[in-house]
Structure 1
């Protein structure tokens, strides 16, 4: 067992290995395989099978690549995109949580979002960014 482990470690020396992008591609592969199991349409099943094969080839290509800088750059692009998506949905979740206790209005001049506590009646709101004043119900 140790001899096999040594041979694998020697083979992988200088190669890129696995990263978050490979894990994401693996999840996509498993989803395609799961859909393919329950789908009985021949053409669509064949299309999914070809996608699965391409994903397997891409995953192994990235894992065994010796061009570490290029694979690292690809992974960084993926991580930046993943962070943008997480921030987008995180903002939406935060706004929904704030809507329980606050009204959220947009400044008519600078489009800055301003939150006003609920239940204060008709109030004059001053934008902290541009200083514009407007009247809203709270």
Structure 2
């Protein structure tokens, strides 16, 4: 993207620079859902990737509204919710892992604030954009 002058640097600092990478990622996720992960084989993984796709499309829609949600928080919050759901589904105790993941989520948010890459609002929005699709899709595989 930098070589064809679509972005200034790898940090995708402006809202406009995020649009093409998010669209490309959406196409890749759709191909994964269609070709790699049929719904009937591993439903947990299928719906995890479906949640990622929904989060990605939501993040793209936010860029059209000129809002820059934290993609770091979207990804980590989505995985956090999926890990909790897997623990409940398979009835395993991962309390230590969940506590560690909470610390990591806080560290990610703190680092994004420290680098002045995002505001509190952008981090909170990113957290919920990543968490909510995973939470909503639980009804379909759990």
Q: TM-score, normalised by structure 1?
A: 0.29
- By relative contact order (CA 8 Å, sep 6+), the higher-ranking structure is 2
**Which structure has greater strand proportion?**
1
Q: TM-score, normalised by structure 2?
A: 0.28
Please identify the structure whose Cα radius of gyration is greater.
1
**Which structure has greater helix proportion?**
2
